[in-house]
Structure 1
Amino acid sequence: MNLGFIGFGEAAFEIASGLKKYESLMVTAYDPLWNVEEFSSLILKRANEANATLVEFPELVLGEVDAVIVAVPADKALDVSKQLKPYIKNELIYIDVSASGPDIKKEIALNVNEKGGKFVDAAMMGPLPVYKHQVPILASGDGTDIFLDLMKNYEMNMTKVSNTPGEATAVKLIRSIHMKGIAALYLELLEAAHEFNVEKLVIDSISETMNGRSFEETMNRLVTGTSIHALRRSVELGGTIDMLDTANVDSIMSQAAKVKLERLADFNLREKFKGEKPEHWQQVIEACKVVS
């Protein structure tokens, strides 16, 4: 099995270093910074540590491998696919692991398919330094089944989403609403709690509320309850914002939440559900679609 990498930054290095124990796997890599003085020594060091053959031109990778993992910044991924397009051979598996959006992934897939290649949209769902090649990966696109079969002997942790490019990335980006958003929310909460010297009381109170149920149960309860109490809760948040502003604590997350609740209140779901909390969050989402 011959595997290639275009871009040999941290992501590619961690995957390749995890795969180096497999003698049957040959790795070839190209990085555009290989001859840039500030980065060349690091790239060479990474290639040596991962037992990867470093080449000077990207076409030297694509001409030798069965599959290529393209690990470039999200804003470069489409342009890179255009640059690589003349060198894509028939049946090459082109795996894009960038955080580009679903529409970009579809454009990249078209570039690959036009040359007879197969495309995989791969969304890495965990920390690479911890998992290396076994990082959980969601994959979609017409090359997914073939890539899973090629890598079945190398203990990679991949799950197929669909044959549609962009759907794997959509999962990751939507998940980020929570993972990045909740971190920002925690920062605001902790800044406020510290300012008022009530950290332990706040954390203990929230822990008691959150720890008794699963994430899904808690999410469902919060969304369904808020659907009929959105206006009241937005008003309560207004009091929180006033308190934070008076204490000179940044309230941007609370302000955003207040706006979201006000928009939800505009749907008048309390009347639609006749004052009764719906059973499932999906009822709330569908009701908002109907009203809009």
Structure 2
Amino acid sequence: MRNPPIPVIAVLGLGEAGGLIAAGLAEAGALVRGYDPRVDAPAGVTNCASGAEACAGADLVLSVNSAADAPDALAEGMPGCAPGTLWADLNTASPGEKTSLAETARDRVRVVDVALMSPVPGRGLLTPMTVSGPAAADYAAVMRPLGARVDVLDGPVGSAATHKLLRSVFYKGLAAAVLEATAAARAAGLSDWVRGNITEELIKADAATLDRLLTGSRTHAVRRIHEMEAAARLLDDLGVPARVTRASRDWLADLT
């Protein structure tokens, strides 16, 4: 039985995430070509002088820069791509931005929407990836044999971004609430008590916690509006911006 061909993968953007993923792909046996105008390629990755040079002969291109730079990366790299090359956009962007990228590419390359579902440092190529778009299964077929964890969604380009960003609303919103509460606690001299209270609540959370948060907010919205107004005044007195606190009050007001 013949061994499968070794994939040629271009990585555009060799910062923290791109560099780690590129290095992981090279270690897994892929031929990896990288380009970044500010960062040299890691060991095992061929350093190219341009995006188009990196993309020449590539079966798959990974764009790992930023949402703002993604269109430029496509414009610079696409001339080096053979028709039908897989172009995976790993940048955190809105579904609309991902869709616009695919529309720009048209039939020149096949755009795949890839959402990195956890921080890359410490995981590298093993970072869970959620992918969508007509060519998502083809992306998985290249990346899975190299060790990547790929979850294919049955949806268009933009669906993976939607899943990631909806989760981000919760996780990053929770982090913002914790930051605000602990900042106020420091100002009030109650850091240990608040940290202990938050830790206890997180440990005992279970599947029923979500239902209590949703139903309780609706049932007790009026009372909780007054509670959060009082909390906002406390933070004002402590000199801590009450951004999350006042946003919570406004959400409760929408429930009445």
Taking structure 1 as the reference length, the TM-score comes to 0.79
State which of 117, 124, 128 in structure 1 corresponds to 2:116. 124
Shift of 1:242: 1.6
Give aligned pairs, total: 250
1:163 to 1:118, Cα distance in 2 relative to 1, 3 A: farther
CA distance in 1, matches of 2:198, 2:34: 48
RMSD, matched Cα: 1.8
Q: Point out where structure 1 has 5 or more consecutive residues left out of the alignment.
A: 34-38, 266-292
- State the match for 1:202 in structure 2: 194
Q: Point out where structure 2 has 5 or more consecutive residues left out of the alignment.
A: 1-6
Shift of 1:103: 0.7
1:6 and 2:12 are equivalent in the alignment:
yes
1:112 and 2:118 are equivalent in the alignment:
no
1:16 to 1:210, Cα distance in 2 relative to 1, 3 A: closer
1:191 and 2:183 are equivalent in the alignment:
yes
- 1:34-49 maps to which residues of 2 (within 5 A)? 39=38, 43-44=39-40, 47-49=41-43
CA distance in 1, matches of 2:56, 2:188: 63
- State the match for 1:73 in structure 2: 66
1:22 to 1:247, Cα distance in 2 relative to 1, 3 A: closer
State which of 160, 164, 175 in structure 1 corresponds to 2:156. 164
Range with bigger deviation, 90-99 or 169-178: 169-178
1:206 to 1:9, Cα distance in 2 relative to 1, 3 A: closer
Aligned with 1:211: secondary structure? Answer: helix
Amino acid at match of 2:232: I
1:204 to 1:183, Cα distance in 2 relative to 1, 3 A: same
CA distance in 1, matches of 2:148, 2:67: 23
CA distance in 1, matches of 2:155, 2:184: 46
Shift of 1:161: 1.7
CA distance in 1, matches of 2:231, 2:96: 39
Q: Please identify the structure whose Cα radius of gyration is greater.
A: 1
Conservation of the 8 A alpha-carbon contact between 2:35 and 2:51: yes
- 1:84-123 maps to which residues of 2 (within 5 A)? 84-115=77-108, 117-123=109-115
Conservation of the 8 A alpha-carbon contact between 2:22 and 2:42: no
**Identical residues among aligned pairs (%):** 26
Aligned with 1:93: secondary structure? Answer: strand
Amino acid at match of 1:224: T
Taking structure 2 as the reference length, the TM-score comes to 0.90
Conservation of the 8 A alpha-carbon contact between 1:11 and 1:71: yes
Aligned with 1:250: secondary structure? Answer: coil
